[in-house]
Chains A and B, each alone.
Chain A
Amino acid sequence: MEESPLFWPAYIKEKTLFVLDETLIPTKVKYIAVKNTKEAVSVIRQMKTRAFGQFLVVLNTFLIELSRNKGLAPLKVVKKMQETAKALNASRPTFPFADVTSIVVGWSQKALAEKVEMYSYLEKHIFGFLNGIRFRRLERVSKIAALIANGDSILTHCNVSGELAMAAAMCRKENKKVKFYATETRPYFQGAKLTAWELNAMGAQVTLVADNAVASLMQERLINRIIIGSDRFCANGDIANKIGSYQIAILAKEFGVPLCVLTQPSNTIKKGVDIPIELRDPKELLSFEGKKIHAGNVKGFYPGFDVVPHELITETIAVETGAR
């Protein structure tokens, strides 16, 4: 299967983690070298990577810290894993970092209790976990492609880390004629920079629209399906996803368009209202590449995510991460 660079946007080579700088796409495909937890937290906070990229950075950061701290006593390794987890958990509020980091910390505690060789045990489990996720995500790409019918016109929002573009490529091989509409996704333009770029690169027909054109697309029957990702999943089926997802979901219900969400099930949060929503610095909204957008005195308000209640979701396609 042909892969988009956004499908697996981080890799380890010789004790260094290389993270795809998504803010430079489509101008450049460049990787940032990350050598420790502090640098990993920084790439997450600055949104150099997001969504699935964050998951990869988290797991690979434990591997970097293991290779940086060879020779530590087992108890000290557990403490190092706990410190690493704590720093990563505090990087951004909405993505369920603790769900992922607690798994690795748990492995280190188990290795200590069972007196097995700590380093190889942790490396084996982390690599095994990553390989499992990779396999299940590839499976999900096939499921997305199977969901898409010949003649479909699909709206997507923000970016689903390569999976939709790869499903589009599969559809093309199966001679399905499919159109995509991508919202630009203000203020970071993930739709314009990432989704339109990767769908185009995979040979799909994609049209970029402003975030405020989504109702028009539905009213004019220009789309018949919506596929979005999710950053957080609740026990009752509510999700959190990029800001803009709630109004898309409300419109989908109003105009009878099925809404499919790609999820990573977890029950650590019961319902959507309990999800911590990140409020980002409004400067990121009021200026662009260092230049102010509006003259005069204005304030800004920038919530990073929306909650979508489960009753607005038609279908989910899940990848089990083991996080609970």
Chain B
Amino acid sequence: MTKEKSIKKRSIVLVHGIFTDAVLKGFKKGEQYFVLEGRPDLLASKTTIKALAKKKIVPTVIADNMAGFLFYKNLVKEVRLAYQYDDESGVLCDIGALILGVLGRTHQVPVNLYQGQLRRRFLAPQEDLLKFNGKAVAAPETRVYAPLVEWLANEYITKRY
């Protein structure tokens, strides 16, 4: 269990998105990586956790709604996001990147962008949000909106690698 008091101020590298293997190889031991789940398919966290395990790095998982808490407590030193496409105005990232971009800018934490894997679709199937880990979490008739990507404008980005 990670306890709040055991986390030093400005020590966490917050990680979100599906990075390329080459980028994941660059993650270093000794850093404190916090990985966002990446609903609805959890692909982002599963991919990152698997890659970090090969390097014997044990990350800490948080739900997608918990990043703000870490910023409020001044625990984040860097945001690391994967992008799939870019142009002169910004980048296309996994859904959730804009939350981290706005939080990073508000709290003056660098938001760094790294090459990510391309997603084949932009919307998740309804089932992915109606279920979690294979179990139903909402009534089957519930209307769902499940974007998988979103645009992050340059104003929220510190550096693109």
The chain A residues found within 8 Å of chain B, CB to CB, are 26-27, 157, 181, 183-187, 189, 192-193, 196-197, 200, 205-216, 219, 242-248, 250-251, 254, 277, 279, 281-282, 285-286, 288-289, 291, 293-303, 306-307
Q: Are B137 and A243 in touch, CB under 8 angstroms?
A: no
Q: Closest residue of chain A to B133, judged by CB?
A: A288
Considering the complex, which residues of chain B in the window 84-141 have a beta carbon less than 8 Å from any beta carbon of chain A?
95-96, 98-99, 102-103, 106, 129-130, 132-139, 141
Residues of chain A with a CB closer than 8 A to B147's CB: 213, 216
Q: Closest residue of chain B to A244, judged by CB?
A: B65
Residues of chain A with a CB closer than 8 A to B64's CB: 186, 210-212
- Most chain B C-beta atoms within 10 Å of own C-beta, residue among A293, A294, A302, A307: A294
The answer, among A186, A193, A196, A295, for a CB contact under 8 Å with B50, is A295
Residues of chain B with a CB closer than 8 A to A183's CB: 65
Q: List 24 A-B contacts (CB under 8 A).
A: A184-B138, A186-B64, A207-B144, A212-B39, A212-B65, A212-B95, A213-B96, A213-B147, A215-B98, A215-B102, A245-B68, A246-B68, A247-B99, A247-B103, A288-B135, A291-B135, A295-B46, A296-B53, A298-B59, A299-B59, A300-B61, A301-B2, A301-B60, A301-B66
Chain B nearest CB, measured from A77 CB (Å): 40
Residues of chain A with a CB closer than 8 A to B13's CB: none
User: Closest 7 interchain pairs by CB?
Assistant: A244-B65, A247-B68, A212-B96, A215-B98, A246-B68, A212-B64, A186-B63
Q: Interface residue count for B (Cβ, 8 Å)?
A: 57
Main secondary structure of the interface of B (DSSP, over half): mixed
- How many angstroms between the C-alpha atoms of A19 and B102 in the bound complex? 40
- How many angstroms between the C-alpha atoms of A13 and B100 in the bound complex? 49
Q: Are B62 and A307 in touch, CB under 8 angstroms?
A: no
B69: CB under 8 A from chain A? yes
Chain A nearest CB, measured from B141 CB (Å): 7
Q: Are B49 and A298 in touch, CB under 8 angstroms?
A: yes
- Most chain A C-beta atoms within 10 Å of own C-beta, residue among B34, B63, B133: B63
